[in-house]
Chains A and B, each alone.
Chain A
């Protein structure tokens, strides 16, 4: 408790923590929004390819300029990420290699090249190279205020463009052929949306790292999809989840020594995804499971009622009692006769006779007739 309070106090007073938290929240929002579109277009893995492909761009940008400033490295990352995307598109278009194979190909080739460059840089005798390897798994603690400013500015630009082209992007994701026939330049919109995705991924690389960045794209959107059936709400919830996981993960990794940020954020995201998969209304697995249990129970109860009805039909007196063993035999395979009878008794549909046998009440008889679809005829 004390540590928690101290942490909160730190958060508001400590300049570094505030910077880190803000940066992570910004990139979480941007990726939550763009990730929603990527997931809906079934391009979840494109994010993975783009982030891995960005690594050689970062290394080359450093080798060429000797600078580690955020704009330079981000530009390199964006250029390489974009190049990777173009490679994927042209491989799919011009060869018989399918989309998923093209993704895997570009991802591993670019990433491998990036690792080679990174190893070379590590061995360079200058001190300036220190810290480039944090791009692998991310280190939020390395965020400076001017990095956060860059992240914030680019993130804001991405969000504004999404807002401006909202209806076009929605149409592009749902039915691109129809968009074409309405006169929209589908290719240009596709390029714009992909460029925005590249941008939002690139601004997250320093914090989250190239290896796990795709989680930041896919997980918030996949979790958000569970909670809503509206695109606007999905994008908003996804942005919120991204901000939450980004902020929490970045802060935790800054406070605890030697905790890489990327994996920490991924753990936060996993928790959000698991809760969403299980608990979200309608789509949540828990509710689905509960609904199914409830339905099954209802059917079993109805079956016992119907059995009692069948027995009642064989007797002059509908109120005649029947032993539970007979009912058990009749509902062979249904099981739970005792519980069903108890539930029916609570609803006033059956009663237990003095001899310990069971019979339908008048209400129960009416209900059983209704269930059997015979209305008011019958015995």
Chain B
């Protein structure tokens, strides 16, 4: 893994602690993600996966800890980080079109006062083509299926042209075909040097889809290359030994991916 920007990791999290009320959701998390990896964030329900992403992007204020993006505080590097929220976080009955939502990804680059114009339109259409949604450009967003909504969010992230992408459950509620298409897209993004972190639920597909993994359960259990870190021991630590995955796959044959469960 090559480190860019003078060896600074893409994401560096130090001593991150987040609490809702008096209940800690993340406890003293240290994390280093090198540039150019496709990383899964896995862990049981309530492990703080979404909170980790929200804390990195400043949407949730941590009790303690720092987040650095390419060696500088997140606040200075906000534009370099793209965020793909859970589909359910927005109102899909909002009066707007698919193309319009995708163009929102350019608003940051436009800055104040300037309106999106022909350039933004062109970029948005290109992104829609990448996610296979060209024919839906003029659609009212209410008419989209779950998988299509997810693709629109990805297109919006693409036009943002960030260097790091944080995605909250992009595979939730999408069919197998769409999941494949999204994975291909993510790998293509990695190929272009982007760093992508994805909150993921399906342990089966981790070795197949990702090259980096973070196992989370309030604390950071382990983080590193999949073939080194995605082990039975670490999974047991993260999930408390309730993982059926372990009974069928040893750590070594994890790459077989599509096994029984």
Cα distance A230–B81 when bound, in Å?
29
Which residues does chain B contribute within 8 Å of A170, judged by CB atoms? Answer: 96, 104
Q: Indicate whether B195 reaches chain A with its CB closer than 8 angstroms.
A: no
Specify which of A182, A183, A228, A231 lies most central, judged by the most chain B CB atoms within 10 Å of its CB. A182
Asked whether B180 is an interface residue with its Cβ less than 8 Å from the other chain, the reply is no
**A184 near B: Cβ within 8 Å?**
yes
Contact flag A177-B59 (CB < 8 Å), given A40-B94, A164-B113, A229-B140: yes
Alpha-carbon distance A52/B223, docked complex (angstroms): 54
CA distance A182 to B77 in the complex (A): 10
> Is B107 touching A181 in the complex (CB atoms < 8 A)?
no
Given that A40-B95, A181-B78 are contacting pairs, would A174 and B101 also be in contact in the complex, using a CB cutoff of 8 Å? yes
The reply on B116 being an interface residue by CB < 8 A is: yes
B95 contact from A42, A181, A184, A234, Cβ within 8 A: A234
**Residue total for B at the interface (Cβ-Cβ under 8 A):** 30
Q: Report the nearest B residue to A173, measured CB to CB.
A: B94
Q: A179 — which chain B residues lie within 8 A by C-beta?
A: 107
Interface flag for B1 (CB, 8 Å): no
- Name the A residues within 8 Å of B97 (CB-CB): 229-230
Complex CA–CA separation, A368 to B110 (angstroms): 58
A170 and B140 alpha carbons, distance in the complex (Å): 15
Counting CB contacts under 8 A, is A225 at the interface? yes
Using A164-B113, A174-B101, A229-B140 as known contacts, say yes or no to A181 and B81 having CB atoms under 8 A apart. Answer: yes
Most-contacted residue by chain B among A42, A170, A184, A229 (CB, 10 A): A229
Over the window 85-100 of chain B, the binary record of Cβ atoms lying under 8 Å from chain A Cβ atoms (1 yes, 0 no) is 1000111001111000
A180 touches which of B59, B94, B113 (Cβ 8 Å) = B59
In the complex the two chains form, is A229's CB within 8 Å of B95's CB?
A: yes
Q: Does B150 contact A (CB under 8 A)?
A: no
- Which of B59, B79, B160 has the largest number of chain A CB atoms within 10 A? B59
A183, B94: Cβ atoms under 8 Å? no
Q: Which residues of B contact A42 (CB under 8 A)?
A: 91
B250 within 8 A of A: no
A33 CB to closest chain B CB (Å) equals: 14
The reply on B23 being an interface residue by CB < 8 A is no
* Bound-state Cα–Cα, A234 to B93, Å: 13
Distance in angstroms from A92 CB to nearest chain B CB is 15
B115 interface residue per 8 A CB criterion: yes
Return the CB mask of A19-45 against B: 1 if under 8 Å, else 0: 000000000000000000000101000
* Chain A binding surface SS class: helix
B83 proximal to A (CB < 8 A): yes
A181 CA to B54 CA, complexed, in Å: 10
B6 in contact (CB, < 8 A):
no
Chain B residue nearest to A166 in the complex (CB) = B115
Chain A residues with Cβ under 8 A from B91's Cβ? 40, 42, 174
Interface SS of chain B: mixed
Q: Complex formed: what's the CA distance from A42 to B89 in Å?
A: 14
Contact partner of A175 (CB less than 8 A), chosen from B58, B79, B89, B140, is B89
Point out the residues of chain B lying under 8 angstroms from A231, CB to CB.
94-96
Check B107–A182 contact: CB distance below 8 A.
yes
How far is the CB of B31 from the nearest CB of chain A, in Å?
Answer: 19
Closest A-chain residue to B141, C-beta based?
A: A229
Interface contact A177-B83, CB-CB below 8 Å? yes
CA distance A183 to B110 in the complex (A): 11
Q: Is A167 an interface residue (CB 8 A)?
A: yes
- Interface residue A113 (Cβ < 8 Å from any Cβ of B): no
A289 at interface (Cβ–Cβ under 8 A)? Answer: no
Cβ contact of B85, chosen from A166, A168, A175, A184, cutoff 8 A: A175
Extra A-B contacts (9), CB below 8 Å, given A174-B94, A178-B104, A181-B59: A40-B95, A166-B115, A175-B89, A178-B156, A184-B107, A184-B108, A229-B96, A230-B97, A231-B96
**Subset of 28 A-B contacts with CB under 8 Å:** A40-B95, A42-B91, A167-B110, A167-B115, A168-B107, A170-B96, A170-B104, A171-B104, A174-B94, A175-B85, A177-B85, A178-B83, A178-B85, A180-B57, A180-B59, A181-B57, A181-B59, A181-B82, A182-B78, A182-B108, A183-B78, A184-B107, A229-B96, A229-B97, A229-B142, A230-B96, A233-B95, A234-B95
Measured CB to CB, the residues of B under 8 A from A are 57-59, 78-79, 81-83, 85, 89-91, 94-97, 101, 104-105, 107-108, 110, 112-113, 115-116, 140, 142, 156, 160
Binding site for B on A (CB under 8 A): 40, 42, 164, 166-168, 170-171, 173-175, 177-184, 225, 228-231, 233-234
